[in-house]
Amino acid sequence: MKNLVVLLFLMILFQNNYSQVKTNLKPEPIIDMHMHTGLPHPVPPGTLSLCRPEPCEGDVAATIDPAAHLKKTLEIMDRYNIVKAFVSGFDLQNIHKWKTAAPNRFITSHFILNPGKPDVQKLREEISAGNLQGMGEIGTQLMGIPPNDPKLEPYFALAEGQDLPVLIHTLGIGPYMANFRSAAGNPLLLEDVLLKHPKLRLYVENAGYPYKEEMIAMMYQYPQLYADVSTITWVIPRTEFYNYLESLIKAGLGKRIMFGSDQMVWPEKIAEAIEAIEQAPFLTKQQKRDIFYNNAVSFLHLDESDNIASQR
Ligand SMILES: [Zn+2]
């Protein structure tokens, strides 16, 4: 009987200590290079998350209220230790709200859907005032406008001059919009931009999916070009995402692929995007850390003095 009491006591002690150790363990830091404050158009409540290819059905209902969206995103960032995120918004007021909520954690930027909006001069002022630290997402492909359209020149020139990270939608898939063109998203179209702006810090969302050969060509030829994984971590079948990512890794590009969730109005998808990388059977621990964190540190020119890993 005495032995049993001692055993029980030891078990309770062990359990308490164990759960204490567990809660003290903070996950390793993550940088999310692709978030949005919402979508450019109003979304009906209950709109399910995107998926491809049809027929398919999304599994997460949209968070419509902007304040709730910010709150949920921050909660998930805390849970997964996302220490920094590039967030692209559609109106300056809302972008400011995100920045105010967590000044050190957001790299704020204005979405560009149509060239001329926002006005380049207005952007320059906001950048000078410290309200914006990035450019894009440049999403003009959604309107059928390719990246090498001269109308985008002033934006690239501004970003190059100010040394800003630039996120661009140049790939084969996108939202179902009347003017969207897959052909306007061929990564080869970036060549004109990269030649004209050799110092531009450009990264391509979804790693240019599914233009694998074109993306490899661009990344081999232009060492300054990076990619993020964004939506393909959750919008296409997991096996297809793994096929694509593994090809890029096998091509030797593991040091220039960054994590991004592209959560839009479904912040829960951040967790799914993280899980997709964590569970990738072909990635080593080091390759996962590079994608989650190290590659973004290099791309964003962050260093120890930025103390990013402890920014909360
Ligand atoms: Zn996006």
CATH number of the domain residue 57 falls in: 3.20.20.140
H-state helical runs in 148-268:
153-162, 190-196, 212-221, 238-250
Q: State in Å: Cα 196 to ligand 1 middle.
A: 24
Residue 14 lies in a domain: no
Give just the sign of the alpha carbon dihedral 293, 294, 298, 302: positive
CA 46–ligand 1 middle distance (angstroms): 20
Number of domains, the chain:
1
Ligand 1 center to residue 269 CA distance, Å?
A: 13
- Among the ranges given (2-11, 108-117, 148-157, 205-214), the one the predictor scored with the smallest mean pLDDT: 2-11
Dihedral pair phi/psi, residue 135, rounded to 5°: -125, 135
Q: Is residue 283 part of a domain?
A: yes
In a domain, 168, yes or no: yes
**Residue 111, domain extent:** 28-310
> Model confidence at 308, in pLDDT bands (50, 70, 90)?
low
Within a domain: 7: no
Angle between helices 120-128 and 153-162 (to 10 degrees): 10
Question: In this structure, is residue 13 part of a structural domain?
Answer: no
Q: Tell me: pLDDT of 255 over 90.
A: yes
In a domain, 145, yes or no: yes
Question: What single string gives the DSSP state of each residue in 146-166?
Answer: -TT-GGGHHHHHHHHHHT-EE
**What pLDDT sits at residue 193?**
98
- The alpha carbon of 129 and the centre of ligand 1 are apart by a number of angstroms equal to 25
Digit-coded pLDDT (tens) for 163-205: 999 999 999 999 999 999 999 999 999 999 999 999 999 999 9
88 and 136 in contact (C-beta within 8 Å)?
Answer: yes
> Which pLDDT value is given to residue 15?
55
Residue 4 covered by a domain: no
The CA 244 to ligand 1 mean position distance, Å, reads 19
Distance 308 CA to ligand 1 centre (A): 23
Q: For residues 102 and 114, give the distance between their C-alpha atoms in angstroms, rounded to a whole number.
A: 28
The pLDDT of 274-299, averaged and rounded, is 98
**Does the pLDDT of residue 2 top 80, yes or no?**
no
Q: How far is the CA of 273 from the centre of ligand 1 (A)?
A: 14
If you average pLDDT over every residue of the chain, what do you get? 92
Which pLDDT does position 303 carry in this prediction? Answer: 81
Question: Does residue 21 register a pLDDT over 90?
Answer: no
pLDDT confidence band for 305 (50 / 70 / 90): low
Has residue 282 been placed in a domain?
yes
Q: Could you tell me how many residues make up the chain?
A: 312
Please say whether the beta carbons of 100 and 48 come within 8 A.
Answer: no
Least confident of 118-122, 196-200, 305-309: 305-309
